[in-house]
Amino acid sequence: MLPRMSPALPHFTFLHAADLHLDSPLWGLKSYPGAPAERLRKATREAFALLVDLAVAREVGFVILAGDLFDGDWPDFNSGLWFMGELRRLTAAGIQTFVIRGNHDAESKVTRKLSWPEGVTEFKSKKPHTVILKEFGVAVHGQSYGEQHVTDNLALSYPDAAPDHLNIGVLHTGLEGYEGHGHYAPCTLDDLRTKGYDYWALGHIHKREVVSESPWVVFPGNIQGRHIKETGPKGATLVEVQDGQIVGLEAVACDVARWAHVVLDLTGTDSEAEVLVTVDRDLKRVLAEADGRLLAVRVEFQGATTLDSALRTEEHRWTQEIRSRAADLSEDLWIEKLKVRTAPAKSESEDPSDGDDTLIAFAERLPETDLPRPVLNSMARDLQKLSAKLPASVRAMIDPAAPDALDQALPEAQQFLGALLRNDWQRAAAPSTAEDEESRPERGAKA
């Protein structure tokens, strides 16, 4: 970084956000019973409105939006008009905004055009350029995407740092080393360091991370989680500058709905009541952490338990039970899905000699069995014929004819079948008399 020569630079803050994905369609929500689909669809807009509220309340010097403002082309002009209205709120408060486009809202993707409000600067796509903010002693450098699939290292062509200024680079990039994300405008940390900037305001990675402190290289994450892979608080990064130097960063939440993945270890658990106590405890915990927001939760059972067979073969009943308990806790709590990932634990009372030892051995080995590719291909052809009979909501989530569909579904199917076989064996092996049946209380009856 270059030294600052002037001692009269102001004390100010700026706000760095990215990946707004306004009006993201949130595919597949209709397939979930009781899903708060409308509230989740509004969440991206409400989160950005809160971000504007925050910028105005904190009296920030300027706002940086590092790409993917939209999820693609607008369905109509209402999306653009609403967004421009929020930007005008910043302008009315004397706050400038700097915008770049990313892979989702590249110039080729968003074809509808509106004029940017006064006080908003969009960096163009042909080459990077620089805006000097004399009142802050800041130089902002940036470049938008012209096309969705940008595979060039854009960082290499960014200008060198402006002398006697706090230099900020704005870039939408799949920084090297981040798996599971598209490698758009790929670059390395060394590529960024060679420019001599003080702060790199990045976008594209939806999880907040401070990649480096010298210089500052920051992904603020997206402002609103949209599905179960985007858990935890979401928002922006508030950067404090004093005497021309960055002196602090603050993660600020502006999400209105939150996603959580609750993993429950049921190792050693052998009663349904014990499972439900554990579920209640953890749902209360994550609900408190959401601080009044709408909370969507995926519950996952893990661990070796004697309840494995019952959990797997009655997953629907367990899902409804947990959803019912969640509704009792709060109207802002929704169970997105239950995933059963438990393993069987041999009960001390089990004796294979009481049942069919061969069947149990088969059930135990089934999850580890690999099916030959010709067998899978044949199954795929059969499923393709059946897929037309599936509900539309299911077809929207999985294509049974897709090459990888069976490979992805097979482990769970094998676990389920193994659990079903063990469950049938346990029922057959258990002593049962007419007296037992008559004396057994009905489900839900108090003991």
Per residue in 301-357, pLDDT tens?
Answer: 999 999 998 999 999 999 999 999 999 999 999 999 999 999 998 754 455 444 455
Q: Could you give the CA distance from residue 194 to residue 191 in angstroms, rounded to a whole number?
A: 6
Q: Residue 326: what are its φ and ψ, rounded to 5°?
A: -65, -40
Judge whether 202 and 221 are in contact, CB under 8 Å: no
Q: Is residue 6 exposed (0-12), middle (13-18) or buried (19+ Cβ within 10 Å)?
A: exposed
Residue 134 lies in a domain: yes
Q: How many CA atoms lie within 13 A of 413 on its CB side?
A: 9
Residue 303 lies inside a defined structural domain of this protein: yes
pLDDT of residue 112: 74
Same domain, 209 and 141: yes
Decide if 238 is inside a domain: yes
Domain boundary among 238, 253, 268: 253
Peptide bond connecting 36 to the previous residue in cis, omega within 30 degrees of 0: no
In the chain, the number of structural domains is: 3
CATH code, domain with 214 = 3.60.21.10
Same domain? 323 vs 393? no
Asked whether residue 113 is domain-assigned, the answer is yes
Does 78 map to a domain? yes
- Using the structure block, give the residue that is written with the tokens 């991370």: 209
Torsion of the alpha carbons at 179, 181, 184 and 189, rounded to the nearest 10: -40
**CA 430 from chain center: how many Å?**
45
Looking at residue 10, the DSSP 8-state letter turns out to be: P
SS3 (DSSP) at 302 = strand
Whether residue 377 sits in one domain with residue 307: no
Host H or E run for residue 416: helix 405-429
Of 292, 314, 345, the position where a domain reaches its end is 345
Q: Looking at the structure, do residues 235 and 354 belong to the same domain, yes or no?
A: no
Taking the mean position of all CA atoms in its chain, how far away is CA 106? 22
Would you say residue 59 has pLDDT above 80? yes
pLDDT of residue 141: 98
Report long-range pairs for 391-399 (Cβ below 8 Å, ≥24 apart).
393/28, 393/30, 393/31, 394/31, 396/27, 396/28, 396/31, 397/28, 397/31
pLDDT class of 115 with cuts at 50, 70, 90: confident
Domain boundary at 328, 345, 362, which? 345
Examine the domain organization and report whether 403 and 268 are in the same domain: no
pTM listed for this prediction:
0.77
Residues 248 and 262 in one domain: no
Six-digit token pair at 26? 């949130």
Q: Which domain holds residue 394?
A: 349-436
Average pLDDT, the chain: 83
Among 67-81, 97-111, 176-190, which stretch is predicted with the lowest mean pLDDT? Answer: 176-190
- By mean pLDDT, which of 69-83, 257-271, 358-372 is the weakest? 358-372
Backbone angles phi, psi at 301, to 5 degrees: -95, 130
> Which class for 166: exposed (0-12), middle (13-18), buried (19 or more C-beta within 10 A)?
buried
Residue 443 in domain: no
Whether 7 is in a domain gets the answer: no
